[in-house]
Amino acid sequence: MLLQIHEPGQTPLPHEGHKSAAVGIDLGTTNSVVAVSEAGKADVLRDEHGRGLIPSVVCYAEDGSAIVGEDARRALLDRPDAVVSSIKRLMGRGPEEVKALAGALPYQLDTKTEGMVRLVVGGRSLSPVEISADILRAVKARAEASLGHAVTRAVVTVPAYFDDGARTATRDAARLAGLEVLRLVAEPTAAALAYGLDSGAEGLYAVFDLGGGTFDISLLHLEKGVFQVRATGGDAALGGDDIDHRVAEHFLAERARALGGAHPTQAEVKQVLAAARLAKECLSAQLRGEWVIELGSTMSRHPFDRAALEQIAEPFVARTVALTKAVLADAAVAPSEVKGVVLVGGSTRMPIVRRAVAALFGREPLADINPEEVVAVGAALQAEALTSGSDTLLLDVTPLSLGVETMGGIVETLIPRNTPIPVAMAQEFTTWQDGQDAMLIHVVQGEREMVDLCRSLARFALAGIPPMVAGAARIRVAFQVDADGLLTVSAREATTGIEQRVEVKPSYGLTEDEMAAMLRASLEHGEEDMLARLLAEARVEAERTLLAVRAALTADSDLLSSGERAAIESAMERVAAQLPGSDRDAIAAAAAALEEATQVFAERRMDRGIKGALAGVSVDRLEAGLAGKSEAG
């Protein structure tokens, strides 16, 4: 061995050893869960009372500090104005969309801002990204307390049906909380991973995921460690919350009848909602009960039973069944072909949901792993697979079609839904007026042919198109979706070869500038983190160069004189000597010097390779010539 680059346990890769195991986080509408996996075994990280669920509820204290979890939920009674829950429903959404919901939701919107929606909480204006970041900070703290070391990297799950805006918002929230997102994984896919690895299942499986705020249905093909999503569908605004609201409306109506019709305040609505949720949860195990709501000096009693709850829940359950049928149709699969159905999400504890799923698939669904923890378990398994290597493979798809608006408000789809990711597609468009020098590109996501029925993701202008007659310009719009399901769009005019870098501004997200400013403001060690990352990247790159040269020496060292070889080896030693240091520039310079020192060696290797290849080609040509002759004759 020529060089010993690092001692065991001091791997100079960006992701350093077991001291910072990556965690899996299920950032839920109602609850969040964090888990960690070691040697293929995942554990949910619990508090001192053994609770794995962290309520996704934030209470803002007078000084602006955030309290998250059970304590925040309790504060709902004393300081309802300072408490936010179900913030996930607003991720990546615009003010117009939220206004439609706000009548039913206990949020106070900040009407003074544009772009991404903001809430007024405890007198401060906050975006859903910042509020979610506060939840993630608490989740991170839970993990660090439990593991006894810093946690900086995570796999974070998102509903499969989350669009690009909501995914971006989730990733940004994690960055604000000081977490590097190794991968955004779809919740049903994570759940399938937890189940499949546990049971060695093979064949077609459905994951039915009804959470607090979102519904996902995914159809997966499992085969020897491969988890291939065949089709996915759902509704990013359908969940247990909707049932809670209907039950709360029912309780409020009863109170109004009993106590006279005073208009409830927002604080009262929040408390009645909490009672409604409790009633719903109790009625999964019990058949009936009575709930007492005490607001200020007024008290009301509400007897409520499972039959009444199921009557309220029925339309929502019917919608999940309809969406499930649509996904089966998309994949051209009959319910009987599905070998198993996995239940995920707290709302699948409701008996009416289990009955509906069993009736649709003609089999009892699986729920052996706690449906509220299974997603975090799968995320933890994937976090370990990404950092420690693994044979399992998650192949996910785009949940919604992606396209651009063309003339007349028609949507031209570039990437249809259920396309495996990562994916890259491009299409050419043209100008429609003589001399047109700019083109507005409107990127949309959704399943309708008309632009006003789709969600707007971004708008940008491609300027500087040279003057041409209408229809002569060729504007190539390229879409790229990475393995996280995040979209990048670029455009260029092809006839003149003029390439335009375009910045895509998310319609309802944060711009890079806003994000950078927030990172600076919120992270105590933002600058340090960034420098640490750059250093880590320089090390990975230098180490990659070292490995490449070493491999080349092993294969072709006979091309070098002993003096030449010694020169290369000393350049390698200089790189190795810099690697453990923290001078990023010195590491990069040593690596560049090594590349320089191997220049002649590389040329000789290519020459030898080409001679071998030409010999191969001429034999092929000879054979082709002979074959041609015999055919002709």
Residues that bind another protein (CB under 8 A): 13-15, 182-183, 223-224, 226, 228, 382, 385-387, 389, 391, 393-395, 419-425, 480, 482-483, 537, 540-541, 544-545, 547-549, 551-552, 555-556, 598, 602, 605-614, 616-617
Nearer to another protein, 464 or 609 (CB): 609
Query: How many whole angstroms separate alpha carbon 226 and alpha carbon 249?
Result: 45
Q: Is the peptide bond before 303 cis (omega within 30 degrees of 0)?
A: no
Strand partners, 288: 305
The DSSP secondary-structure symbol of 474 reads -
The DSSP secondary-structure symbol of 265 reads P
Nearer to another protein, 193 or 353 (CB): 193
| Minimum CB–partner distance for residue 548 and another protein (Å) | 4
Structure-token match 């000597």, residue found: 577
| Minimum CB–partner distance for residue 94 and another protein (Å) | 28
Rounded to the nearest 10 degrees, the angle between the axes of helix 70-78 and helix 266-282 is 130
Helix, strand or coil for residue 270? helix
Nearer to another protein, 217 or 272 (CB): 217
Query: How many whole angstroms separate alpha carbon 289 and alpha carbon 284?
Result: 11
Nearer to another protein, 56 or 218 (CB): 218
Nearer to another protein, 352 or 379 (CB): 379
Active-site residue, from 172, 187, 235, 268: 187
* Close Cβ partners of 390 (under 8 Å, ≥ 6 residues apart): 384
| Minimum CB–partner distance for residue 518 and another protein (Å) | 23
Any catalytic annotation for residue 187?
A: yes
Structure tokens belonging to residue 173: 């929230």
Query: How many whole angstroms separate alpha carbon 439 and alpha carbon 436?
Result: 8
Nearer to another protein, 158 or 309 (CB): 158
* Segment holding 460, helix H or strand E: strand 455-463
Nearer to another protein, 77 or 552 (CB): 552
Instruction: Strands of 187-263 (E only): list them.
Output: 203-210, 215-223, 226-235
CA 166 to chain centre: 8
Buried b (16+ CB within 10 A) or exposed e, 319-353: ebbebbeebbeebebeeeebebbbbbbbbbbbebb
Any catalytic annotation for residue 88?
A: yes
Helix, strand or coil for residue 424? strand
Q: How many degrees, rounded to 5, is the angle at CA 556 between CA 553 and CA 557?
A: 60
| Minimum CB–partner distance for residue 273 and another protein (Å) | 35
Nearer to another protein, 482 or 573 (CB): 482
| Minimum CB–partner distance for residue 553 and another protein (Å) | 10
Active-site residue, from 26, 163, 372, 384: 26
Nearer to another protein, 41 or 533 (CB): 533
* Close Cβ partners of 473 (under 8 Å, ≥ 6 residues apart): 430, 431, 436, 465, 466, 493, 495
| Minimum CB–partner distance for residue 223 and another protein (Å) | 7
Pairing of strands 475-481, 487-493: antiparallel
Active-site residue, from 130, 209, 268, 396: 209
| Minimum CB–partner distance for residue 320 and another protein (Å) | 18
| Minimum CB–partner distance for residue 364 and another protein (Å) | 29
Query: How many whole angstroms separate alpha carbon 380 and alpha carbon 390?
Result: 13
Q: How many degrees, rounded to 5, is the angle at CA 102 between CA 101 and CA 103?
A: 95
Query: How many whole angstroms separate alpha carbon 254 and alpha carbon 275?
Result: 13
| Minimum CB–partner distance for residue 394 and another protein (Å) | 7
Helix, strand or coil for residue 428? strand
Active site residues: 26, 88, 187, 209
